[in-house]
A and B are shown apart, each in its own frame.
Chain A
Amino acid sequence: MATSDAHQGSTAHEMLPFEVRYRRALSNQQLERNLLNFQRSWRTARDAVWQAYAESGMAPQPAGAPNANPLASLSDSPGDRLFASLRDQMAAIKDEVIDHLEEYVDQFTRAAARNGVRVYRAATAEDANRYVLELCRDRGIQHVVKSKSMVSEEIELNAALEGAGIRVVETDLGEWVAQLSHERPSHMVLPIIHKNRVQVGDLFSAYTGRQISRQDIGEQVRVARSELRQEFLAAGMGITGANAVVADAGAIMLVTNEGNARLVTSLPKVHVVLVGVEKMVPNFAAAMLQVRLLARSATAQPITAYTTFINGPSEPGREMHVVLLDNGRSAMRATPLIRDALRCIRCAACANVCPPYAVVGGHVFGHIYSGAIGLVNTPYHHGLEADAGPQSLCVSCNACATVCPVGIPLPQQILEVRTEVVRRLGLPLPVRLALELWSRPRLVQPLLRLAGQLLRPLSSGGMLRLGRLGLDRLQVSRQQLSWRTPPTVGGTPARDLLRPGRPEAALPNDAQGLRVAYFIQCVTDWFAPQMAVAIAKVLRALGVELVVPQPQHCCGLPAFDAGDRDTARRMAQQTIETLERVDADYILTGGASCVVCMLHEYERIFEDEPAWRERAQRLAHKVVDFTTFLVEVARLRPGTLNAPPGLGRVTYHNFCQSLNVLGLREAPIKLIRDILGLEYVELPEANVCCGFGGSTSITHPEVASHILRRKLENVASTGADVLVTDNPGCILHMRGGLDAAGNGHVRVMHTAELVAECLPRGLGHGA
Chain B
Amino acid sequence: MPDARAFVDRATAVGCQVSLAGPADVDAVVGAVVAEMEATATEACTLSARAALMLPELADALTEGGADVRIAEELAAGLSTRELAERLAGRVGVVAAEAGVVETGSVLPSDDTLPARLTGMLSESVVVLLPSSRLLRSLDDLADLLSQLAAQGRHFLSLVTGPSRTSDIERVLTIGVQGPRRLHVVILQEEARVGNE
Interface residues in chain A, defined as those with a beta carbon under 8 Å from any beta carbon in chain B:
34, 37-38, 41, 56, 58, 115, 171-174, 177, 190-193, 195-197, 200, 217-218, 220-221, 224-225, 228-229, 232-234, 248-249, 251, 257-260, 262-263, 265-267, 283-285, 287-288, 291-292, 299, 302-315
Contact = CB atoms under 8 A, between A and B. Distances in A.
B174 A218 contact: yes
Interface of B: 14, 81-82, 85, 89, 102-104, 106, 112, 114, 117-118, 121-122, 137-140, 142-144, 146-147, 150-151, 155-172, 174, 176-180
Contacts of B162: 305
Nearest to B118: A266
B161 A307 contact: yes
A193 B168 CA distance: 7
Contacts of A34: 170
A172 B168 CA distance: 9
Given A196-B170, A220-B169, A288-B139, A309 B146 contact: yes
A257 B180 CA distance: 11
B102 A58 contact: yes
A266 B122 CA distance: 11
B112 A314 contact: yes
Contact of A291 (B89, B139, B165): B139
B178 to A, nearest CB: 4
B165 A262 contact: no
Given A259-B180, A263-B179, 12 more contacts: A37-B171, A38-B171, A41-B171, A58-B102, A58-B137, A173-B168, A257-B167, A259-B164, A259-B179, A263-B178, A285-B143, A305-B161
A226 B92 CA distance: 18
Contacts of B140: 285, 288
Contacts of B137: 58
4 A-B pairs with the lowest CB-CB distances in the bound complex, closest first = A259-B179, A174-B168, A284-B143, A258-B177
Contact of B158 (A177, A191, A257, A309): A309
Contact of B85 (A115, A217, A267, A312): A267
Contacts of B159: 303, 306-308
A43 to B, nearest CB: 14
13 contacts: A173-B177, A197-B172, A229-B85, A233-B82, A251-B150, A257-B165, A258-B178, A262-B117, A283-B147, A284-B142, A304-B161, A306-B159, A306-B160
A315 B169 contact: no
Given A172-B168, A217-B170, A310 B177 contact: no
B171 A308 contact: no
Contacts of B155: 115, 310-314
A233 B86 CA distance: 10
B76 to A, nearest CB: 11
A217 B174 contact: yes
A562 to B, nearest CB: 36
Contacts of B180: 259
Given A259-B164, A283-B143, A228 B170 contact: no
Residue picked from A177, A191, A291, A311, most chain B C-beta under 10 Å: A311
Contacts of A200: 169
Contact of A191 (B14, B81, B161, B168): B168
Contacts of B179: 258-259, 262-263, 305-306
B121 A262 contact: yes
Nearest to A292: B139
A228 B178 contact: yes
A234 B168 CA distance: 25
A266 B167 contact: no
A260 B170 contact: no
A232 B179 CA distance: 12
Contacts of B157: 308-310
Contacts of B138: 58
Contact of B164 (A218, A249, A292, A305): A305
A267 B143 contact: no
A304 B171 CA distance: 15
Nearest to A220: B169
B121 A305 contact: no
Contact of B117 (A173, A190, A266, A307): A266
B142 A224 contact: no
Contacts of B139: 288, 291-292, 303
Contacts of A265: 156
A304 B159 CA distance: 9
Contacts of B114: 266, 314-315
A177 B166 CA distance: 13
A267 B178 contact: no
B141 to A, nearest CB: 9
A408 B3 CA distance: 37
Contacts of B143: 283-285, 287-288
> Which of A37, A58, A229, A291 is the most central at the interface, judged by chain B CB atoms within 10 Å of its CB?
A58
Nearest to B103: A58
A681 to B, nearest CB: 29
A473 B155 CA distance: 69
Given A233-B85, A309-B157, A258 B166 contact: yes
A318 to B, nearest CB: 9
Nearest to B145: A284
A399 to B, nearest CB: 20
Contacts of A305: 14, 160-165, 179
A196 B171 CA distance: 10
A173 B168 CA distance: 7
A307 B89 CA distance: 22
A347 to B, nearest CB: 15
A266 B156 contact: yes
B101 to A, nearest CB: 9
Given A258-B164, A263-B121, A306-B159, A197 B81 contact: no
Given A58-B138, A228-B178, A308-B158, A299 B167 contact: yes
Contact of A309 (B81, B82, B150, B174): B150
A130 B197 CA distance: 57
A289 B146 CA distance: 14
Contacts of B147: 248-249, 283-284
A459 B103 CA distance: 63
Contact of A192 (B164, B169, B177): B169
Given A58-B103, A303-B104, A309-B150, A217 B169 contact: yes
A288 B143 CA distance: 7
B130 to A, nearest CB: 17
B85 A260 contact: no
A221 B117 contact: no
B40 to A, nearest CB: 14
Given A217-B172, A221-B177, A266-B121, A310 B156 contact: yes
A225 B14 CA distance: 21
Contacts of B160: 305-306
Contacts of B168: 172-174, 177, 190-192
B175 to A, nearest CB: 9
A283 B121 CA distance: 26
A232 B117 CA distance: 15
A85 to B, nearest CB: 14
Contacts of B163: 305
A358 B157 CA distance: 38
Contacts of A233: 81-82, 85
B150 A311 contact: yes
B177 A260 contact: yes
Interface centre among B14, B114, B163, B167 (most CB of A within 10 A): B167
A286 B22 CA distance: 36
A196 B179 CA distance: 24
B108 to A, nearest CB: 9
Contacts of A267: 81, 85, 118
A234 B140 CA distance: 38
A234 to B, nearest CB: 8
B170 A288 contact: no
B39 to A, nearest CB: 16
User: In the complex, which of the residues B159, B170, B178 has the most CB atoms of chain A within 10 Å of its own CB atom?
Assistant: B178
A287 B171 CA distance: 27
Contacts of A192: 168-169
